[in-house]
Amino acid sequence: MNIVNDILKTLSLPEFYFAMFRSATPVLLTTLGAMISSRSGTSNIALEGTMLIAAFVGVIVSAFTQSAWIGFLGAVFAGFVISNILAYFILKLKSNAVISGIALNTFASGGTIFVLYLITGEKGASTSLPSLKLPSVEIPIIRDIPVIGAVLSGHHILTYVSLILVAAVWYMFKYTRLGMHIRAAGESPEAAESVGIPVKRVKYIALCLSGVLTGMAGAFLSMGYVGLFSSGMTAGRGYIALATQAIAAGNAAVGMLASLLFGFCQSLSNYLQSSGIPLQFIQMMPYLIIIIAYTAYCAMTEHRKKTRQLKASGGK
Amino acid sequence: MNKKFTAIRLFCAFAIAMAITTAVIFAVSEEPLTAIYNLTLGPLQSKRHFFDVFASSVPLIFTGLALGLVFKSGNFSMITDACLYTGGVVTAALAIKTAMPSGIHPVVIMLAAAVIGGLIGSIPALLKVYFHANELVTSLMFNYVFFYLGIYTVTRFLADREAGTFASQKYASTAALGTLLSGTKFHIGYLIAIAVVILLYLLVFKTKFGYEVRISGSNPSFAKYSGINTGKVIILTQVIAGAVAGLGGSVEQMAMYQRFNWQDSPSYAWDGVIIAILSGNNPKFVPFAAFFLAYIRVGADLMSRRSDVQNELVSIIQAVLILFVTAERFMAGWKQRQEAKKALGGDK
């Protein structure tokens, strides 16, 4: 009973929902990235490593230039470069997408530690580097509304950027030339080719865009609230984005909801750490709930497909 | 032609990896020659280090076999990580909590770890077959779930409160796998690994089930239309792969550790990817690929101990190798020219 009370009390706190948005941000940015590459027909498994490298580069560049924004650009550029390498191997050299992605993740987890040690002499975290953080933003009018202000105002700037990007990605798929080309290249590459869409180039662009968005997610991790890089700090968020992306099935708004679900679980697990539940079960919960949501989604689509087929054959 | 081409391409990938490694070492190190010497020849300097290579190749053989089998069937489950880790946890639990005679204890533990590994391995496969959930996505999430479950089990039931760090109590001495050569870490586990290599080779290339696995992997629609139960193939391959990985975790724990202290999941499953790739998913070549990676590993450890270059360099070598070995079009132009030359030569 105590635990139920704890949970209910947590759910009534505005801070809880504030933290939900905060935890959802990196996953949301990565989900959008994963969505773009996946709609173009390539699944980007290297998101995890891309995010890690971007987080690392952001900290290093901001520490050496003493400018948070140049650090941010560095992180985004790092994401761009890594996804370029991935695109080169997948599209030009015809490598297996999953295995090349795993290779880049291996490279990221070891490579970041290798360079971190070269610069700081430590392997764990960049505590000794004077790296900077990106600012948080107060929204003028919303700030003063009692509960909503506490939830929606004062977030990190990239949280707002990620919400704007949800609309931007939705708009891109629905109304722009590039968005339609990406969808066509993913759904039917031969047909797209036959009407003159440069499929390979479109796929290349889609992968690079996913890298840019994932780079932002990396910057949020290391230059958001924490302000330092620690080895393996992405903790599977790149993989979670693969699941939330699959749940979204190309719809940016659903992608946002799925990311918020992860943010909800993560935030809940942060709040419940002092309750009676063993710590490991709390840490496990976000992953478990995403698995359940994803499987339920897959089962539902499968069921819908079957009933539709049944109806079609019954009609004859 | 094809075999020769594969060999040449492998060699080029290897040469590129070595060139990048050398360049990195020269860029960052103040004693590059010491570093390179230890990385490439370190393991040959003493009998102990040379047999260390065999010992460190053992978990890599197990994960390489497991992933090779899964890849061969055309699936991409990474649940091997969870299977290996949980296999280790099961080993810790049984090695601490049960008492058995020394010959039987390891056998019982290995069987239990293999069974649990197989069960865990089946989960993403079942979700794929029954709910059409992508096995890569679910397995990556489940790795975290089983990792935390393992940490919970060890801290709650097996932890040594006086150790100060994360460690279980000591294993019963009956549960240790002995060494084969005194003064080295070369242990019985290597023979077990080789036995599993032979069994899996026979399974994949000499049985009807193995044929079904190969067909499902190379041509899924043909497999379906020729009446192969692809669902069964998916589930069974991942159960077997999980069991192999669980066994690997168990062997590693009993042979190399006296306490369970894997605070992070070891990277063996991810290393298994490169083993599977280098061996072309053929069990026969797995011990050689594992030996190769273990050799670099031991060399890198010696390098980081004796020079100023850190052993994380290995992950860079590994990534470059995987990228170039799997790149289908890498050197394709060269192959085409060779073939054209041959064809033209035949005309004369």
**Which residue among B133, B273, B319 sits closest to A295, beta carbon to beta carbon?**
B133
**Mind listing the pLDDT tens digit for each residue in A176-214?**
888 888 888 888 888 888 888 888 888 999 999 999 999
Task: Give the three-class secondary structure for A125.
Answer: strand
What are the tens digits of pLDDT across the range B245-261? Answer: 999 999 999 988 888 88
Judged by average pLDDT, the poorest of A27-41, A114-128, A251-265, B67-81 is A114-128
pTM of the model: 0.89
Q: Which residue of B has its CA nearest to A101?
A: B323
* Residue A241 contacts residue A30 (beta carbons within 8 Å): yes
Which one of B28, B270, B330 has the shortest CB-CB distance to A102?
B270
Q: Please report residues of B whose CB lies closer than 8 A to that of A239.
A: 137, 140-141
Contact yes or no for A103 and B323 at CB 8 A: yes
Of A22, A20, A37, A26, the closest CA to residue A246 belongs to A37
User: Please, what is the average pLDDT of chain A?
Assistant: 86
**Nearest residue, CB atoms, A99 vs list B273, B314, B330:** B273
SS3 B280: coil
Residue B316 is nearest to which of A107, A239, A288, comparing CB atoms? Answer: A107
- ipTM (interface pTM): 0.86
> Terminus-to-terminus CA distance in chain A, angstroms?
56
Name the residue facing B152 among A96, A281, A291 (closest C-beta): A281
What local confidence, expressed as pLDDT, does residue A316 receive?
46
Q: Kindly report the average pLDDT of chain B as a whole number.
A: 87
- B293–chain A Cβ distance below 8 A for any pair: no
pLDDT of residue A87: 92
Q: Look at residue B187 and give its three-state secondary structure.
A: strand
What are the chain A neighbours of B315 within 8 Å (beta carbons)? Answer: 106-107, 109-111, 114
pLDDT, tens digit (0-9, with 9 covering 90-100), for A43-62: 888 999 999 999 999 999 99
Q: Is residue A56 a contact partner of residue A116, using CB atoms and an 8 Å limit?
A: yes
- CA–CA dist A192, B217 (Å, integer): 28
The residues that bridge with A156 in the sheet, in sequence order, are A136
Residue A295: its chain B contacts at CB < 8 A?
Answer: 127, 131, 133, 138
B12 and A CB contact within 8 Å? no
Q: Which residues contact B82 (CB under 8 A, 6 or more apart)?
A: B120, B139, B142, B143, B145, B146, B147
Query: What is the band of B348 on the pLDDT scale with cuts at 50, 70, 90?
Result: very low
The verdict on a CB contact (< 8 Å) between A295 and B127 is yes
Q: Per the CB < 8 Å rule, is B327 touching A94?
A: yes
Could A95 and B328 be called an inter-chain contact, meaning their C-beta atoms sit closer than 8 Å? yes
List of chain A residues whose C-beta atoms are within 8 Å of the C-beta of residue B132: 298-299, 301-302
pLDDT surpasses 80 at B85: yes
Where is pLDDT greater, at B146 or A68?
Answer: B146
B144–A contact, CB cutoff 8 A? yes
The enclosing H or E element of B125 equals helix B104-131
Rg of the Cα atoms in chain A: 21
The residue among A102, A116, A233, A266 with the most chain B CBs within 10 A of its CB, best to mutate, is A102
Q: Compute CA distances B84 → A281, B116, B117, whole Å.
A: 20, 10, 7
Of all residues in chain B, the one with the smallest CA distance to A98 is B76
Note the pLDDT tens digit of each residue in B182-233: 777 888 889 999 999 999 999 989 988 888 888 888 888 888 888 888 888 9
Where on the phi/psi map is residue A154: left (φ > 0), alpha (ψ -120 to 50), or beta? Answer: left
Taking the C-alpha atoms of residue B326 and residue A249, their distance in angstroms, rounded to an integer, is 29
Closest partner CB to B149 (pick from A284, A295, A301): A284
Would you call B250 an interface residue with chain A, using a CB distance cutoff of 8 Å? no
Q: What pLDDT score does B88 carry?
A: 93
Inform me whether the pLDDT recorded for B346 exceeds 60. Answer: no
Record: contact A95-B310, CB cut-off 8 A: no
B314 inside 8 A of chain A by CB: yes
CB–CB contacts below 8 A, A to B: 140
The 10s digit of each residue's pLDDT in A75-102 is 999 999 999 999 999 888 888 888 889 8
Question: Could you read off the pLDDT of B18-62 as tens digits, one per residue?
Answer: 899 899 889 888 888 888 888 888 888 888 888 889 999 999 999
